Structure formats: C-alpha cells, structure tokens
Amino acid sequence: MRHFAFLDAAATDALFHCPPQEISAADERRLVATALGATLYAPGTRPRLADDVRRQLAAGVASMVLCLEDAIADHEVPAAEANVVLALNELGDSPPAAGESPGLLFVRVRAAEQIPALVAGLTPAAAALLAGFVLPKFVEDTGEVALDAVLRAGDDLGRPLWAMPVLESPEVINRESRLETLLGVRRLLDKHAEHVLAVRLGATDLSGLFGLRRDRDLTIYDIAVVRDCIADIVNVCARGGEHVVTGPVWEYFAQPERLFVSSLRVTPFANVELVDPVVQGQALRRDLVSADLDRLIKEVVLDKANGLIGKTVIHPSHVAAVHALYVVTHEEYEDAQTVLAGEAGGVRPSRYANKMNELRPHRLWAQAVVRRATAFGVLREGHTFVDVLAASQAVTA
C-alpha cells in the first residue's frame, strides 16, 4: 500500500519533500503499524461488504477491520461470519488491479474459536488478502489463547498473520487491577512481538464501564478516568518504543448545534498555498467544522503528543483528516535527521532556529518520525496538513 496514491504526479511533487513509500505487510513491524493510519471499521453484516471495501481502498483507506464483535447484534453473528467469508472470497476472486492498493484487511472476532472456522472458509486467493485478526477484551489469561489461535491460523495458511489486541476490559481501567493487568499484557506483547502488529484502545468500552460517553465537544483526554488509563497503557505497553499503541475511536460524523466555538484556527487556512485553487481555505475550514472534524483533528494532535500512532475510525469522512495529520512536516523531519545523525549525545540547534535537539532524549521520537515519514511522506517546507487535506478534497470532490 502507498498513502496518497490517488494524487497525480504533479500534486505529489508539489506537496512532498519526500513522498510516501510503498509499504507491504512483510516490512518491519513498527513501520507497518505506523502505516495503518486511520483504520476504518465496517460491520460484518453490510450487504455489499466486498464492494464497500473496494470503494474505500480506492479512496485512500489503507487498513480496514471487518467487525464481528460490538458492531453487530448477538443474533447476527452466524450470518455476519458467513458474510465476511463471502466478502473476502469475492475480493480474492477480483483483486485490485495493478497499481491499486489492496490495503490491509483484518477481521475482528468475538472469541478465539471463530478464527479457525473463518480461515477454513477462505479460498487461497482470499486468504492471501487477510492481514490478521483483531482480538477484543485482551488480558493475559485469555490473550494467550487468542494469540495461539492466530499463530495456528497462520500455520494453516502457510504465512504469518498479524494480531492486534484491544485493551478494553474492566481489569485494564479499574485502578486496583490495572498495573498487574498491563504488566501481564506487556509480557504477552514481548513474547509474541513478531506477530503483534499494534495494540488498539477500546475507549468506548472503557468509558461505558463508568456510564460515561464523551461529548462531541470534547476529546477522550477530557474524560479523566480514560485519560489516566491511556497514560498507564502508554507507560507500560509503549515504553521503549518496541510496541505501537493506536489512538481510540472517534465516533461522531454528523454535526448538530454546537455548544463551544471551534478551536481550529483560521490562519492556517487563510494563508495556505492550496494545490488546487478550486478548494478555498476558508471553505475547507467551514467544511471541517460543519462535519465535526475539527474535534477529531484536535484529538489526533493529542494522540500524537501522548505517543499514540494511528486512529480507529467508523466513517470514511474521517480518513483524510487523520492521514493529513500524520504527514511529517519539513521541520519535524529536519529535527529528526539532526538527532539521528549523532550517537555521542549532546545538544544541537534546530535548523529552524527555534529549539534545541537533544540527541539522546529525542532519539526514540526521531525514529518514530522517520517511520512516519516513510509511510506518509514529508511535506515541502512551508506546507502544512491543510495542503494535504485540500489536495485530497480536490481529488475526491
């Protein structure tokens, strides 16, 4: 897959100092995890699921999850299982044409017992499209069983499959059990590191345990009990940079009356040099605000600041904003290159003359920036995520 492959050569050259690179499922694990970007969830019950997948991948989605868990009702599970297998087989019968991205496709199961049955129903061509499984309610006791099921399914297919655990159980957020539970999760992550692509956060489930739901005017970081849990998850599971933890789901996609004024500043939109003059900066900002995407943008910025990479989304309109925010700015890239250029420690000034780069403390950050640069590209100097959003809208309008 390659991000922003829908842009033509002229637009790509105008936007990127370093264009996004093609990423395959066989690349280094953390690079693949970074490239997931906005992972779009689709209920396994959708009647034309294969067509939906093709359409979203063509529009720039890089990773999708066909969901057999919370997205469907209990009584729909058997039909949804059959529908997911049918969709994957249809996709296998008609794979993407040369030059089109197949993306990374995952199935979210309810229980480990579903995995062998799902794999057994796939044709060889369909099995080649399956990237792995999302494992809900992940804790150490049941997580080992789920991971073993993924490993066995990979053996049956003759190639490894990725696992993506979801942290969303009471043991994860309850204060008295959290540390012990997370340490157990970390043990499993380390034990199966070559097969665990990324850790996902079930913020909706975690909030629901306390009867909470974040309002569209807030980010998940405004919900104190969930914010504290995310901090501990990052502390234990993302410590050392060996494992990628993704940002929690953004669940809103239509805008009613607003309570608070948008915090999305006007200036970046008013001063930007748009790739396509048809897309006006102020109109683009109004579109983002009216679609409630300004709150999503704020939450993604906070995700990045807190060490989370990627985002779970439930609507195609979210994807372009998330991907635009993960493109590396020219300033970030220059600073990362400065940090990685030396190993003896010390401090070096930024070429932008606005900060100091400390070679040892900033090293893990710089390595993560380089992975992001490989997956999403590096903007030309003076460009921002607004330019990427404008170019994306010009293509999809």
Mean pLDDT over 376-396 rounds to: 86
Mean pLDDT over 371-389 rounds to: 93
Question: Closest Cα to residue 191, out of 148, 231, 153, 238?
Answer: 148
142: buried, middle or exposed (CB in 10 Å: 19+, 13-18, 0-12)? middle
Report yes or no: 310 and 246 within 8 Å, Cβ to Cβ. Answer: yes
Q: What is the CATH number of the domain that holds 221?
A: 3.20.20.60
Q: Residue 301: how many CB atoms within 10 A of its CB?
A: 13
Q: How far apart are CA 330 and CA 397, in angstroms?
A: 27
Boundary of a domain, candidates 326, 343, 376: 326
Helices (H) and strands (E) in the chain, counts: 18, 12
319 lies in the same domain as 188 = yes
Tens-place pLDDT, residues 164-189 = 999 999 999 999 999 999 999 999 99
Structural domain span for residue 123: 23-255+291-326
Report yes or no: 185 and 138 within 8 Å, Cβ to Cβ. Answer: yes
Please check whether residue 10 lies inside any domain of the structure.
no
358 lies in the same domain as 298 = no
Question: Closest Cα to residue 332, out of 350, 347, 349, 320?
Answer: 350
Please check whether residue 276 lies inside any domain of the structure.
no
3-state class of 191 per DSSP?
helix
Q: How far apart are CA 215 and CA 251, in angstroms?
A: 10
Mean pLDDT over 340-352 rounds to: 86
Please state, rounded to an integer, the average pLDDT across all residues of the chain.
90
Question: Closest Cα to residue 312, out of 244, 239, 248, 384?
Answer: 248
Q: What is the pLDDT of residue 257?
A: 58
Report yes or no: 101 and 142 within 8 Å, Cβ to Cβ. Answer: no
**Count of the separate structural domains present in the chain:** 2
When mean pLDDT is compared over 236-240, 264-268, 288-292, the highest value belongs to: 236-240
100 lies in the same domain as 244 = yes
Tens-place pLDDT, residues 260-276 = 656 666 666 665 555 44
Tens-place pLDDT, residues 220-234 = 999 999 999 999 999
Share of the chain above pLDDT 70, in %: 88
Q: How far apart are CA 291 and CA 154, in angstroms?
A: 40
323: buried, middle or exposed (CB in 10 Å: 19+, 13-18, 0-12)? buried
240 lies in the same domain as 334 = no
65 lies in the same domain as 205 = yes
Residue 306 falls in which region: left (phi positive, over 0), alpha (psi -120 to 50) or beta: alpha
Rounded alpha-carbon distances, angstroms, from residue 17 to 37, 86, 328, 331, 384: 20, 42, 10, 11, 12
Mean pLDDT over 316-320 rounds to: 92
170 lies in the same domain as 57 = yes
241 lies in the same domain as 370 = no
Q: What is the pLDDT of residue 284?
A: 64
Please check whether residue 340 lies inside any domain of the structure.
yes
81 lies in the same domain as 223 = yes
The whole-model pTM stands at 0.91
204 lies in the same domain as 63 = yes
Q: How far apart are CA 341 and CA 330, in angstroms?
A: 16
129 lies in the same domain as 217 = yes
Measured at the CA of 194, the angle between CA 193 and CA 197, to 5 degrees, comes to 75
> Which tokens sit at 258?
């607003």
Tens-place pLDDT, residues 80-139 = 999 999 999 999 998 766 556 779 999 999 999 999 999 999 999 999 999 999 999 999
Q: What is the pLDDT of residue 142?
A: 94
Rounded alpha-carbon distances, angstroms, from residue 145 to 112, 138, 188, 282: 7, 10, 11, 52
E strand or H helix that includes residue 6: none
Q: Give all strands (DSSP E) within 206-318, no chain letters.
A: 247-250, 311-313
Please check whether residue 106 lies inside any domain of the structure.
yes
3-state class of 250 per DSSP?
strand
Q: Which residue has the tokens 């195609």?
A: 316
160 lies in the same domain as 179 = yes
Buried b (16+ CB within 10 A) or exposed e, 253-267: beeeeeeeebeeeee
Please check whether residue 269 lies inside any domain of the structure.
no
E strand or H helix that includes residue 106: strand 104-108
Assess whether pLDDT exceeds 50 at residue 197. yes
Tens-place pLDDT, residues 27-83 = 999 999 999 999 999 999 999 999 999 999 988 999 999 999 999 999 999 999 999
Tens-place pLDDT, residues 199-219 = 999 999 999 999 999 888 899
More confident residue, 276 or 367: 367
Please check whether residue 94 lies inside any domain of the structure.
yes
Boundary of a domain, candidates 326, 352, 387: 326
> Which tokens sit at 225?
């009990």
Q: What is the pLDDT of residue 348?
A: 87
Boundary of a domain, candidates 272, 303, 326: 326
Please check whether residue 177 lies inside any domain of the structure.
yes
Please check whether residue 284 lies inside any domain of the structure.
no
305 lies in the same domain as 387 = no
> Which tokens sit at 53?
């997948």
